[in-house]
Structure 1
Amino acid sequence: MTNSNNTNMDLWNSLSITDPKKVKPITGKSYKGSSPQPYWLVQRATETFGPCGQGWGIEIVQQGFQQCNAETMMHYATVRVWYMQEGKKCSVEHMGGTMAMYKTSTGKMIYDEDAPKKSVTDAMVKALSFIGFAGDIFSGIWDDWKYQEMAAAHYNEQKQQPSQNQNNQQNSRQSQQPNRNQNNQASGQQQKPLAQRYNDALLAIKDAKNPQTLDKAINTFKGTQYESGISKACRARADQMGWNEAPPINQVQQQNQMQH
C-alpha cells in the first residue's frame, strides 16, 4: 500500500480503499478478522473494467471434494479472474475452500449444500485482492480504526461528487477557458480533474511521512467541496502518527508576519 508514485501501483491504489459499510466480520472460522462483501467487489470490478463477461469475468479452473476423514469432507475450487486492461486480457488465479461435511463439537453432523458456491466465491475474492481490490483489508491496515475513519470520509465525499462536479463544471467552464493553455503549460497536475486530484491526495495522506504533506493537502482543497473529507483524512493520519494537527501554511505565514 506504499509507493503511491509508482505507476505499477496505479490500478492497485485506485481499488485498495474499501467502503466500511461493505465490510463484514469473518464468521465460522478459527480466526477473526474482516472481509469485503463479495457482491460489492463484483460491482467494483464492473465499475473498473466494464460489465462482467465483457470487461472482466471468472472461470472455474478446477473444483472437487476432498475426504479428510470419515466425518469431514472439504470442497475446493481454483478460480481464474480475468480482466481487460489497455486492450490486453490479464488474469489471476487463486484457490478457495469450504467444509462441505463435518461434525460439530456437540456431535451433530453438518452438510453444507452451498459449499461449492462458497468455495468459488472465496477464490474469486482472493484473486481480486491480488489486483488490489480491498487491499487495505488484506494488507492488514484495516485493523486501525483511524484508517477506517479515513476510508469512510473517502466514500462519503464520493457520494457527493456527481452533482457537485456537474455544478462546478457548468459554473467554471467559461472562466477557465481563457487560461486553459496557460494552465496546461504551467502544471501537469492542474490538468487533472479536481475529483482525481482529491483521490490522489487521499492516497498521499494515507502514506504521509511528515505533517507538511497534510498541510499541503488542507491548503490545496480549502474552500472546495472536498475540504471536509480532506480535513477528516488529515486528522485521522495525524492521530495515527501521533502528530499534533498543524495549522494551514498560510496561517503560519500570517503569524510570522505579525511577529516581524
Structure 2
Amino acid sequence: MTTSTQKQEVMPENVNNFTTLSKINVNAHTEKKGRFTYLSWTFAVSEAMKADPSTVWKFREPMFFKDGTMMVHCDVTMFGKSIYMFLPVMNNSNKAIPNPNAFDVNSAMMRCLVKGIAAHGLGLYIYAGEDLPEEEKQAINQQQNQNAPPPQTQQQKPKDNRTQEQLYNDALNAIKDAPDTKILNAAMKKFKGTLYEAGIKNACCARADMMGWPIKQAQLNQNSNQQAMHH
C-alpha cells in the first residue's frame, strides 16, 4: 500500500525523435555537386547510430528499366520504425544514367541510404532547398527582428527647417570637401531644375578637376549638354 509521503514514479514524456533529428544543423557535412547539395553518408550514419544504436538498413534488389536506367531501394529502420526510400542512379544534374557502372550504383545506394535517414528527420531540410533547419532559421529571423531598429514614422522623422539657400550653402561646403563622387552626384540630383543648379554644377566640376575625376567630369559635362538641348 502506498502512502501520500511516498514519491510517485514519474513517467518520461514521449520524445518526438523526428523533431530531435530535424533540429541538427548538417551544413558543415554537406558537399555541393553541380546544382545539388549532398550530405556525407558517413556523417548521416554516425548521427543515426548516435540517436538510435539499433538503427539498421537494408537494400532491396534494384529495378531496371528498358532505357538502361536503374532505381535503387533502401529500408531504414530507426526507433522501431521502418521507412522505405528509393532513388534513381543519376548524375549531378539529377538525370538518370543509362547503363550505370558500379561506382554510379554505389553512389546512388549511399545517397538513397542518406535519403532514408533524412526521412527520419536528419538533414531533411536539404531536400527542400533550405539553408538551415526550420527551428534555427526561425531563431535567426527572430534575433534579427529584435536587433532591428523600430520603423521610423512620419512623426518621428526630424523635419529639415533649412531654407533652400541654406541647403545650397551646405551643399557647396560638402562638395568642397567631398571624398568621392557620391556627394557630387547627390548634389547634382537634388538641385537639378532649381535656381541653384548652375552653381552646384560649377562646384562639382571644380571638385572633380581638383581630385582628378575625369570620368565624373565628363558625365557632368554631358548633363550640362543634355540640359541645354532640352532648353
Q: What TM-score results when the alignment is normalised by the length of structure 2?
A: 0.47
TM-score normalised to structure 1 length:
0.42
Give 1 or 2: higher strand fraction: 1
Bigger radius of gyration:
2
Greater helix share, 1 or 2? 1
